[in-house]
Structures are given as C-alpha cells and as structure tokens.
Chains A and B, each alone.
Chain A
Amino acid sequence: MHIDLGHEIRHDRMALLGILVLAAILLMAIFAPLLSPYSPTEYTGRIFSSPSNDHLLGTDSMGQDIWTRLLFGARTSLLVAASVALLASSLSVLIGASSALVGGLYERFWMRIVDVMISLPTIIVMILIAAYFRPNLPLLILLISAFSWPGGARIVRSQVLTLKERMHIYAARTFGADQRHILKNHIVPDISPIIASMMIQDARRAVFMEAGLAFLGVSDPLIISWGKMMHQALAFTYLDVWKWWLLPTGILLSLTLVSLSFLGVSLEAAMDPRLCRHEHEHGHEHVHENWNDDVNEREYGNEREENENGEVGSLEAGGC
C-alpha cells in the first residue's frame, strides 16, 4: 500500500479544517502561560465574576480564572491524546504483527485476548478501575492505552497476514532477513498509513475517555481537565455562569473531538480505493474495520484484501 498521506490530506478540505483547529488548540496548550497572567489553580479573589478585561471568561466557583483553566486543560487533553496514541498503536503493531508472523499458539493466545477485550464495554471497565485508583495522569494514560490496543492489533494482524505473502517479503527472506528485520524494514513502512489512522482514532478515544472519566469525577482531582470543568459547571446551571464556563469548555472539547474524527475519516477514505473522494463516501470501511464480529471480519476481510491488490494496480495506472 503506497499512499502519499501528505498529498491526500492537503487535498481534502475536511482534513485541512481538522488540522487547522488542532494546530490552534496545540498552540493554546504550548503557550498557555503566555496567554494568561494567572495560574490555573490560583484563587483570584472573586468567585463567579462575569467576563471582563481582567478575566476573559470570568471566574468559576473556586475563584479561578476560567480562560486559564481552559488553556491548561488543553495541555492535559493533548498530552493524554498523544501519549495514548503512541503507546496504544505501538502495542497494536507489536502484538498484531508478531501474531501474524509467529503464528501458532502464540497467535491464538493473543487473538483470544483481543476477542475477549473487544467484547467488553471498555468505558465501564475503566470507570470501575478508576473508581478504585483515582488515577493520576501517567496512570490514566496507561489505563486508557491498556484498553485501546486490541482493535488495532486485529487490523494490523490481518494486514500483515496478506503482506507477508508478497513477493518482496519472500525475497527479503531468501536474502536471510530475520523476522525483526522484515517487521522493521518492510512491514511497518507498508502499513504506515494504517498506523497513522489508528493513532488518530486512539487519540480521539483518549481525549473522550479522559474527559469522560473526569466528568464522572473518578480521575485524580488535581488534574486540570475539561471534563472536570464541565462536571463542576453542571452544578451551577441555575446561574448565568454556564454561558462562559460550561459552554466554552464543551465547545473546545467538541472541536477537538470533531477535528480528530474529520482527520480520521479523511485518512480512512484516502486508504480505501472503493471510496473515491468526490463521491463523499467516507467512513464505510472504517466502520467495517471496527466491527468486532468474526463473521464480518471473515467476509469483509477477504473483500478488503482483493481490493487492496486491485488498488495498487489502479493507482499505478493512475486510476480513481
């Protein structure tokens, strides 16, 4: 699968929009201390003040500046997103690819674990664990990653299974390449577009889960998080304060999530030969890939493989 993702994204308005919004939020997170004179945990002297020159979005029930907390909340969200994306997708690639390459009992063991974890309602299990541990940031990242890799591992495995029968892999093997060399130099570069789209999905889920757990009040109370701000603000809907406390937080969280979905959908579409861009058929294959049904994987899995072979041909011939 040889796709120039950079080219695909530059020519997709949705993806561009997603990247722009994400870049803006990233800048907010990086330059948070420069964009606000306050500390996010500092008591400013007044509670529930309305937006003014001193306080762009007013202050909350604890007398903290809301705009500052929004900025620092972006740091938490993006940090969790990036860490989980890296960690979970590494696990997916490692376990998925090694299962496909090693095979046998090892493969059956991991695929059974994947089946089991996929059939569990992830958020529920995470709420339970978080309720006991009240995880701090590193623990939260580990927790979300630990529950995010199975879907990706299954996709990577099915991709590697078809890839390893390709000629250039055979060729490498006859030259004496070992499994690790093949994985590193042939398989990972070949599935890199899939890894990219996997990371975006992992990042999206991570942002949502972090906010969700904080919204339920089960993560470490010291973390400055959009979810927690909404949790606090929801108790004061009878005051006007929701207009500059609850709403901006929710909008920023939604913007982050929607941008990540736009980017993800665009990547999926770039990889799927059946979905020619101008036909707006986004997201079809994406849904299939996420389906955790054995029957489905079997049927659509075969279809995918055929299509991928066809796609390489058609791209070389300048098709689509």
Chain B
Amino acid sequence: MSNEGRKRGGALSYIIALLAIFALNFILPRMMPGNPLQAIYGDEALVAMTPQMEAHLTELFALDKSWSEQMVAYVLALLQGNLGFSYYYKDEVSSVIMGALPWTLLLVGLSLLIATVVGVMLGIESGYRRGERIDRGLLAGLMLLGGLPDFFLGIVLLLIFGVSLNLFPLSGALTPYSGLEGFPLVADIARHLALPLAALVLVDLGGIYLLTRNTVVTILKEGFMLTARAKGCSEFCLRYSHAGRNALLPVTTATGLRIPQLITGALFIEIIFSYPGLGLMLRTALDARDYPLIQGILLLVTVTVLFANLFVDQIYKRLDPRTRYAH
C-alpha cells in the first residue's frame, strides 16, 4: 500500500469516529424512556422551564416530528454551532464552554510542554547513563508515579502542600475580587496553577521519560553513535543531536497519544483543585444532570483529541524523511 493510501485510510477512520460521536450524542438521549425533551434536558431542567421555552425547544429540535426530521434539525443546529441551552448556567452551551476553555487550555498546554521537555531531557540523560544509580532511581521513581491514578496524585499534592503546609491556595484559578493587575495578577494565577500543573506533569512525565530512555538505550548501540564519537563530537552533541534527534520520532507519536490522556487527566485534576476549567464544569453538569452541557463538553474534547491525532500523523511524516520519500 502506498503512502497516499495510508494517509487516506487514516483520515477516513477519524471521519468515521467523528460521525460515530455525533450519532451517539443524537441517539443516547432519545433512547431514554419518557418525553424526549425531558431526556435531552433532564428532569430538573423541565421544572425550571417556561411553556414558551418548552415550545421553542421542541420546535428547534423538531422533537414532535419523526426521527429523520429530528436528525436534520440536530445536524443543522450543530452546523450553526448551536450546542443547545444549559439550564443550569442559563446560557448557550457554546458560550458557557468558552468561558471555561481558556483555563483548561492553559493547564493542558503548559503541562504538555513541561512534561515533554523535562521527560525527554531526563530520558536522554538517564538512557545515556544506563545502569548507573541515577538511572535506576529515576526509572523506579517515575514508573511508580506513572502507575498512580492521576486523581490520587492530585489529592496527595493538595493534602500535603495545600491543606497541611498551607503553601498554596486550595481552589480556584485566581483570588476573587482582589483587583490585581499586571504582574501581581500573573503571580496570583501562577500560584493557583502550580499544584494542578505539578500533578498533571508528574502523572504524564513517566510515559514520555520511559519511552525516550528506552529509545536512547537502543540507539546507543547503533553504528552511527560510534562514528559520531570517533569524529570527535562533544558529549552534548552525542546526546542531543544524535541520540536525542533519533528519539524524537517515537516521542512525537506518543505525544499525540498523550493528549487524550492529558485532557482526561486535566478533567479529574480540575475537579480536585476546583480549578474552573472544563473538568469542574463537567462535574457540575454531571451533578446537575445538565445533559446539553455534558454533551457539549464531551463533544469538544473528542473533536480536539481527533484533530490532535490527525495533526500528529502529519508531523510524523515531516519528521521521518523515510515516510516522505518511500514509494
């Protein structure tokens, strides 16, 4: 099979996956017993709803029509970016989500960056010193950390640094009504971010470290490493330009696969630290059974993950010249 064919095959899977999620979002509430409006919006929502609003929503989603007409209405609404109405926040789901999204992006983006850089560097250094004490210590420690469930690691950090030592704030993303501006505001945000970020990075670090380390260990045996040493490369150049460059490929692929883990990890961590991102919002929505909001958040996360995977596929092709020139 040619490269082209493989690329198309990959994209097709993503398209099917996306359609499957849309279908799931459409079918799940309609499979529930009872009035469809009640199933889509939940019992609690109906109590708060005015008859006009009920009529409007019924019309919007064609709930009194056949399934096929409902489907058309659903797709049309999605195409217009209309994810429905959150009764709990009394606002459009899309704008409610937009309010929480920046905090999650900040958390996930920063931990992706930090964990990748630190993980790769530790992996290279550790692999290069294979079998020495520092290597064995790092290996055991990080494997143990990686084995812990992310929400428990978050809880431990919260209990130690937040509750017992009282070093960091217990919840939130910034001090409310503080009126801070400029640098103090940034410092305040950083102080609130520190613990959730540390938890997420620590959980994520193990995988990327282990992968880099093991790749470096196999690369050390390669002939080109001997050549590089023979031609007088410095230690730094050996480690980073030769071993590190070759470890980049598996690390890139793994990064794509870490994104879903990071996002789901962030959902849990946000709940623990009451960090006002999508995770905390999801928890609120789950507790309140605010189904349109649950669907909206999960849809957004799924689409992000699918695009991240697709993006990594493309990057991979650029990084590995072999997949560009072959066939």
Contact = CB atoms under 8 A, between A and B. Distances in A.
A93 interface: no
A208 interface: yes
A131 B294 contact: yes
B286 A125 contact: no
A284 interface: yes
A250 B152 contact: yes
A212 B25 CA distance: 21
Interface stretch (A25-33, A179-187, A188-196, A290-298): A290-298
Interface residues of A, number: 54
B237 interface: no
A291 B253 contact: yes
Interface in B194-249: 207, 210-211, 214-215, 217-218
Contacts of B309: 119
A292 B309 CA distance: 10
Given A116-B16, A125-B24, A212-B268, A250 B32 contact: no
B147 interface: yes
A294 B5 CA distance: 11
A287 B152 contact: no
Which of B210, B287, B291, B316 is packed against the most chain A CB atoms within 10 Å? Answer: B210
A172 interface: no
B17 A116 contact: yes
B49 interface: no
Contacts of A291: 250, 253-254, 257
A3 interface: no
Contacts of A234: 155, 271-272
A235 to B, nearest CB: 11
Contacts, number: 169
Interface string A128-167: 1101100000000000000000000000000000000000
Nearest to B289: A131
B159 interface: yes
A274 interface: yes
B155 A120 contact: no
Interface stretch (B7-15, B81-89, B97-105): B7-15
A23 interface: no
Which of A208, A230, A295 is packed against the most chain B CB atoms within 10 Å? Answer: A295
Interface of A: 112, 115-117, 119-121, 123-125, 127-129, 131-132, 208, 211-212, 215-218, 230, 234, 237-238, 242, 246-247, 250-251, 253-254, 257-258, 261-262, 265, 274, 279-284, 287-288, 290-296
Interface of B: 6, 9-10, 12-14, 16-17, 20-21, 24-25, 28-29, 31-32, 130-131, 135-136, 139, 143-144, 146-149, 151-152, 155-156, 158-159, 163, 170, 207, 210-211, 214-215, 217-218, 250, 253-254, 256-257, 260, 263-264, 268, 271-272, 282-283, 286-287, 289, 291, 294-295, 298, 301-302, 305-306, 309, 312-313, 316-317, 320, 323
Given A230-B152, A238-B163, 10 more contacts: A116-B20, A123-B260, A128-B28, A251-B152, A279-B217, A280-B131, A284-B211, A287-B211, A287-B250, A292-B257
